[in-house]
Chain A
Amino acid sequence: MSSDVTLVRDLCGPGARQAARSLYRSYGGELYGFALRRLRDEGLAEELVQDVFTRAWRSAEQFEPSRGSVRTWLYAIARNAVIDSERRRGRRPPLSAGESGFEAVDAAEPIESALLRYQIQLGISRLTFEHRQVIELVHFRGLSLNEIAQQTGLALGTVKSRLYYATRSLRLALEELEVIR
């Protein structure tokens, strides 16, 4: 994380573009995913990501590591940019899920809640298929370990250890995303 702080510092100097490139490659994808989830418009989502990095570059001098991580800072900028974008869009309602091809999203959901939900989903998406599957079966479908073993054809001991490593991986992913500490 300290390298991210250095990159933000570099935004203020001659290495600004290289620093912006590195920050974009670390965070641009997930910020775009959040923007698209919230705005449900690919063009607006792209504009928003550009806006986030432009704002970050402009305000890099004010970044204070003691107040939070670079990720927290960028997401705070993104949150404000989303609010501005939604205000500009005004009364025009976003496309419904069927029209846009995106997942149904509650447009009235407070942005903090939407952001947390997105980050958890992002953490889950970083798991392997096998780990996501065992979590889906045990938590969302309520199967016992024996039932999972029967359904998947795995040995019971394998199911136990797979669930254990899946939860550890999920916890690590959520720690990296700063959802939990």
Chain B
Amino acid sequence: MSRCREFEVLLAAHVFAALEPAEHDALETHLAGCAECRQACSQLRDLPSLLDLAGGTEARIASPPPLLEASVLAAVPAGGERRRHHRPIPWQRSRQGTPSRRRGVSARRLAPALAAVLALVVAGVTQWPASPPRSVRLTLAPSPLAPASRAVAVLRSRPWGTEVDLQAQHLAPTHGAQIYEMWFVSPRGRVSAGTFTVGTQGHVTVTLASAAHAGQYRTLGVTLEPDGLNPARRGPNILHAKLHA
């Protein structure tokens, strides 16, 4: 077994043809009589040709932008509901404006659905099946207090208000009673969408909820509240984005 250990370490150099002649001959002799080492050698034999396909060891492997995760998850409902009614959200369309290719649906397959809709109309039913939640993606601009911060929010309209997926980077970590708070802001006032703290990494991914319906508000903002237990004290704006009706 120790003899195998002595030769095992040479197997890699052997498949790369990098052994000196004397070591090569000794290894070949050993391999002729050792099935275990032949097996180990065969497991390495493909590597040189695979490396040739790679063309080198320095190829750059790109990393995705940190905010891509939020965009990907925005396309998946939290509860996986309404799978059949899902439609692409606006930013999933091609940048050239070409809609995503859809699977062909034959008139024959549509016939039962059309019949069901007609039946609802004939019966005088006025309430349509619930449509999927409308989603909007916003990039929040940083204030001068946090110029390096970056954030994206995905707003999902719900019957009870608005659900917000927030992913932010390079925020100042919270200390003591400090909290960040998200707001829907209109000329008449503001409604909280929830609070969160930020650790030393300065990154946060959080889902918030507000009774506000986004279409009735002009701005989405994040403030840094100096004292989370004292709502009378108001902190500065850190991030904001305009909302479009």
Interface of A toward B, CB cutoff 8 Å: 11-17, 20-21, 24-25, 28-30, 32-33, 36-37, 42-47, 49-51, 53-54, 57-58, 84-85, 88-89, 103, 116-117, 120-122, 124-125, 127, 132-133, 135-136, 138-140, 143-146, 160-161, 163-164, 166-168, 170-171, 174, 179-180
Q: Let me know if A16 and B9 touch, CB within 8 A.
A: no
Q: Let me know if B54 and A120 touch, CB within 8 A.
A: yes
Number of interface residues of B (CB under 8 A): 53
Considering the complex, give the chain B residue whose CB is closest to the CB of A179. Answer: B50
Q: Let me know if B92 and A54 touch, CB within 8 A.
A: yes
Which of B43, B73, B88, B91 has most chain A Cβ within 10 Å?
B73
Q: Let me know if A167 and B47 touch, CB within 8 A.
A: yes
Considering the complex, give the chain A residue whose CB is closest to the CB of B50. Answer: A120
Task: Check if B77 is an interface residue, CB within 8 A of chain A.
Answer: yes
Contact digits for B1-35, partner A, Cβ 8 Å, 1 yes 0 no: 00000001111110110111000000000000000
Q: Let me know if B13 and A145 touch, CB within 8 A.
A: yes
Interface of B is mostly: loop
Given contacts A37-B62, A145-B13, A174-B50, contact A140 B56 (CB under 8 A): yes
Given contacts A47-B94, A53-B75, contact A117 B55 (CB under 8 A): yes
Q: Let me know if A120 and B13 touch, CB within 8 A.
A: no
Give the shortest distance, in Å, between B67 (CB) and chain A (any CB).
9
Which of A45, A166, A167 has most chain B Cβ within 10 Å?
A167
Considering the complex, give the chain B residue whose CB is closest to the CB of A166. Answer: B12
Sampled A-B contacts (20; CB under 8 Å): A28-B72, A33-B62, A37-B62, A46-B65, A47-B94, A49-B64, A54-B92, A88-B98, A117-B53, A120-B54, A121-B59, A132-B58, A138-B16, A146-B20, A164-B8, A164-B13, A167-B44, A168-B12, A174-B47, A179-B50
